[in-house]
């Protein structure tokens, strides 16, 4: 289905009824004469981004230079963004994405004032900033962010591990970075960038780029300036910043951990094998092309498990279980260095190209490091997650179970970031592997990453590539797999490869025995996290309270520090309105903001009628101030929070 491009539909109205924040000069409406050089993928209809105002065929940003100061009192970043522009011959303007930015001035690189207009604000997409180029190829914007910028979370000292200093971090995916960087915020418009970030002493700034000044440079006002450089073109959502009381510990010659001092020993132990992860990934699909691979372990409010920001993955502390049992999350974020960062979905309709490839690659890394059975357990759990995601999407006929989505401009791209992209995408690739053989498929994938390195990609582009390189002499196998059905049709095709874990057989039997009234002693003690999660998920959703009490008394699920096990337990316990688990739920939901855990638990409570709604609202009133906007935005919808509080 073809959708109308938002930049065409909304820009006209924005220019006709601008907000008044503009220069006095007029912006020429002259028709552009020819397009600038862009990736060929961006010239295809499938690469039209309905969630960006940008018109890259007329003018596109190629480089961003940030010079910003962090104001922890006002909760704003202020300074300049200088954009290098590549424009078509005769192009008179460039259109940028912004959200809640206060624009002070727009000039060229030499200080000459450029005419500009800020269009009407859209609650999802922000406002287009249209700048007259006036024969310049550099645009400098002086601005500051809003205290409520959706990409930024400002934490009080009490919300950090050390309790002494404030903290700031950004989260840009999918279209949030426009709330702190005025640029073309579309994943297909890759940009190099550099930054100078000034922060109060004794805080440290880190970014998803090469750190040019590890110790910072002293500047006036008891502040320090940190400088960064990313010389490889990246999707703009991957520009990331964090500021806090941060320390570093190396785990290898090109890997290490950044986090608060109070967290450093635990984090360094948990992720001590980071260098081995990079080695394993390289052995599968070629050289790691980003230089260093470090982790930043964030405060608990970080909304995702991890975010694959180049050179510096942002990761949740909920991955720290104390026994390295949840390190598959790191394998996933590292794999993004190839699928997602190196080859990136051109629009959010093809989010699966990032996450499906990465989930497949993650499992291969885990197999290489931990063996086939560990990888099989995680793949088997992912299969169950996929089936649940299909049900949550509305069943196998729902268009939201397609890999390639057709998100209109009125649909938040965040809504398309479901388990379908991750698990159906990985199952698709696993099905291809089974059909052609692992060696042949690995050879293809390595070539695919090389051919499309540092470029955007669409589903149509991937299918064209795989037919040309993997199935050129074997069209019958391609037809038998049903490539187009997998990509463009809803549901899970009948030929999907389901990896079964042999270790789970014992867990399934134990769950069945316990459900039938068997003794608690029949449930094994010495099992892996994955086996424990499988056991809990295989239990009937309705259990008598005395059986739940027996389980918790034996295994202490309500107190476990393993976030995956605790989540599985709480989903079961709250679904049975088991009152003794409420205190555990409150502690869990108020101590971390990872949306993967938070949203389903609040949804489960909301489904439990008056009992659950009362508990949910009591907990959320306490938890919401500590959540990132990504998480609170989702839970607000689940609990209809605005309607309740207005």
Phi, psi of 233 (to 5 degrees): -70, 130
DSSP state at residue 95: E
Residue 62 CA, chain-centre distance (Å), reads 23
- State the Cα–Cα distance between residues 350 and 417, nearest whole angstrom: 10
Q: Find the length of the chain.
A: 646
Instruction: Give yes or no for a contact between 21 and 66, defined as CB atoms under 8 angstroms apart.
Output: no
Mapped to the 3 state alphabet, what secondary structure does 367-384 carry?
HHHHCHHHHHHHHHHHHH
Catalytic: which of 53, 143, 360, 422? Answer: 422
Instruction: Give yes or no for a contact between 165 and 244, defined as CB atoms under 8 angstroms apart.
Output: yes
Instruction: Give yes or no for a contact between 463 and 483, defined as CB atoms under 8 angstroms apart.
Output: yes
* Ranges assigned E (strand) in 171-273: 191-200, 204-207, 210-211, 217-219, 223-234, 241-244, 247-252, 255-259
Rounded to a whole number of angstroms, the distance between the first and last alpha carbons of the chain is 38
CA dihedral 326, 330, 331, 332 (to 10 degrees): 100
Active site residue 333: yes
* Cα atoms in the Cβ-side hemisphere of radius 13 Å centred on 255: 18
CA dihedral 169, 171, 176, 182 (to 10 degrees): 50
DSSP state at residue 228: E
Residue by residue, DSSP assigns 392-441 as: HTTSTT-GGGSSS----TTS-GGGG-SHIIIIIHHHHHHHHHHHH-HHHH
Positive or negative CA dihedral for 183, 185, 188, 190? positive
CA nearest neighbour of 426 among 378, 494, 356, 478: 356
CA nearest neighbour of 346 among 563, 46, 547, 642: 46
- State the Cα–Cα distance between residues 243 and 166, nearest whole angstrom: 8
- State the Cα–Cα distance between residues 157 and 543, nearest whole angstrom: 42
- State the Cα–Cα distance between residues 240 and 209, nearest whole angstrom: 9
Catalytic: which of 333, 355, 433, 531? Answer: 333
Instruction: Give yes or no for a contact between 217 and 228, defined as CB atoms under 8 angstroms apart.
Output: no
Please name the helix (run of DSSP H) or strand (run of DSSP E) that holds residue 138, with its range, or none: strand 138-144
Phi, psi of 169 (to 5 degrees): -145, 155
Active site residue 422: yes
**Assign residue 191 a region: left if phi > 0, alpha if psi is -120 to 50, beta otherwise?**
beta
- State the Cα–Cα distance between residues 526 and 97, nearest whole angstrom: 53
Instruction: Give yes or no for a contact between 379 and 363, defined as CB atoms under 8 angstroms apart.
Output: yes
**Assign residue 152 a region: left if phi > 0, alpha if psi is -120 to 50, beta otherwise?**
beta
- State the Cα–Cα distance between residues 541 and 163, nearest whole angstrom: 40
* Cα atoms in the Cβ-side hemisphere of radius 13 Å centred on 161: 20
**Assign residue 222 a region: left if phi > 0, alpha if psi is -120 to 50, beta otherwise?**
left
Instruction: Give yes or no for a contact between 383 and 317, defined as CB atoms under 8 angstroms apart.
Output: no
Catalytic residues: 333, 422
């Amino acid at each position: 289905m073809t959708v109308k491009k938002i930049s065409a539909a909304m820009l006209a109205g924005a220019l006709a009824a601008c907000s008044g924040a503009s220069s006095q000069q007029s912006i020429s409406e002259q028709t552009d004469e020819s397009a600038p050089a862009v990736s060929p993928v961006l010239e295809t209809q499938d690469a039209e981004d309905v969630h960006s105002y940008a018109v890259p065929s007329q003018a596109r940003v190629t480089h961003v230079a940030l010079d910003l100061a962090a104001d922890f009192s006002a909760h704003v970043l202020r300074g300049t963004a200088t954009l290098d522009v590549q424009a078509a011959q005769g192009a008179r303007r460039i259109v940028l994405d912004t959200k809640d930015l206060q624009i002070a001035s727009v000039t060229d690189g030499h200080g000459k004032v450029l005419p500009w207009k800020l269009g009407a604000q859209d609650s999802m997409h922000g406002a287009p900033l249209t700048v007259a180029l006036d024969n310049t190829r550099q645009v400098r914007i002086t601005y500051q962010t809003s205290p409520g910028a959706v990409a930024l979370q400002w934490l009080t000292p009490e919300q950090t591990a050390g309790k002494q200093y404030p903290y700031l971090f950004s989260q840009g995916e999918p279209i949030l970075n426009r709330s702190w960087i005025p640029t073309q915020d579309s994943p297909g418009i890759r940009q190099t960038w550099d930054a100078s970030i000034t922060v109060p002493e004794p805080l440290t700034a880190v970014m998803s780029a090469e750190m040019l000044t590890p110790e910072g440079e002293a500047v006036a006002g008891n502040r320090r300036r940190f400088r960064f450089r990313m010389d490889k073109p990246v999707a703009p959502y991957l520009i990331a910043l964090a500021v806090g009381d941060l320390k570093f510990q190396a785990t290898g010659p090109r890997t290490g951990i950044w986090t608060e001092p109070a967290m450093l020993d635990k984090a360094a132990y948990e992720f001590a094998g980071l260098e081995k992860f990079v080695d394993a990934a390289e052995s599968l699909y070629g050289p790691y092309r980003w230089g260093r691979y470090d982790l930043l372990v964030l405060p608990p409010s970080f909304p995702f498990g991890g975010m694959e920001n180049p050179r510096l993955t942002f990761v949740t502390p909920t991955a720290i279980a104390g026994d390295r049992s949840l390190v598959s999350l790191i394998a996933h974020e590292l794999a993004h260095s190839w699928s997602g960062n190196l080859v990136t979905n051109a629009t959010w309709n093809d989010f699966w190209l990032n996450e499906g490839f990465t989930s497949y690659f993650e499992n291969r890394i885990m197999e290489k490091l931990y063996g086939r059975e560990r990888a099989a357990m995680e793949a088997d759990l992912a299969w169950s997650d996929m089936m649940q995601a299909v049900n949550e999407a509305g069943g196998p006929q729902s268009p939201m179970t397609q890999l390639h989505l057709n998100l209109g401009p009125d649909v938040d791209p965040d809504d398309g970031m479901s388990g379908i992209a991750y698990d159906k995408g990985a199952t698709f690739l696993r099905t291809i592997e089974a059909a052609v053989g692992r060696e042949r498929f690995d050879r293809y994938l390595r070539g695919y990453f090389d051919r499309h390195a540092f470029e955007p990609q669409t589903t149509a582009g991937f299918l064209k590539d795989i037919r040309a390189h993997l199935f050129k002499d074997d069209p019958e196998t391609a037809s038998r797999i049903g490539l187009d059905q997998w990509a463009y049709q809803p549901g899970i095709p009948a030929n999907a490869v389901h990896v079964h874990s042999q270790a789970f057989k014992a867990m399934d039997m134990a769950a069945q025995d316990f459900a039938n009234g068997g003794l608690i002693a029949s449930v094994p003690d010495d099992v892996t996290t994955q086996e424990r999660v499988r056991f809990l998920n295989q239990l009937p959703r309705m259990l008598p309270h005395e059986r739940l009490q027996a389980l918790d008394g034996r295994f202490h699920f309500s107190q476990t520090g393993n976030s995956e096990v605790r989540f599985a337990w709480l989903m079961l316990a709250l679904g049975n309105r088991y009152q003794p688990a409420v205190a555990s739920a409150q502690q869990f939901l108020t101590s971390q903001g990872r949306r993967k855990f938070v949203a389903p638990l609040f949804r489960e409570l909301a489904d439990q009628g008056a009992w659950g709604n009362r508990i949910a609202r009591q907990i959320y009133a306490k938890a919401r101030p500590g959540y990132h906007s990504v998480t609170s935005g989702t839970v607000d919808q689940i609990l209809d929070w605005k309607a309740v509080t207005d």
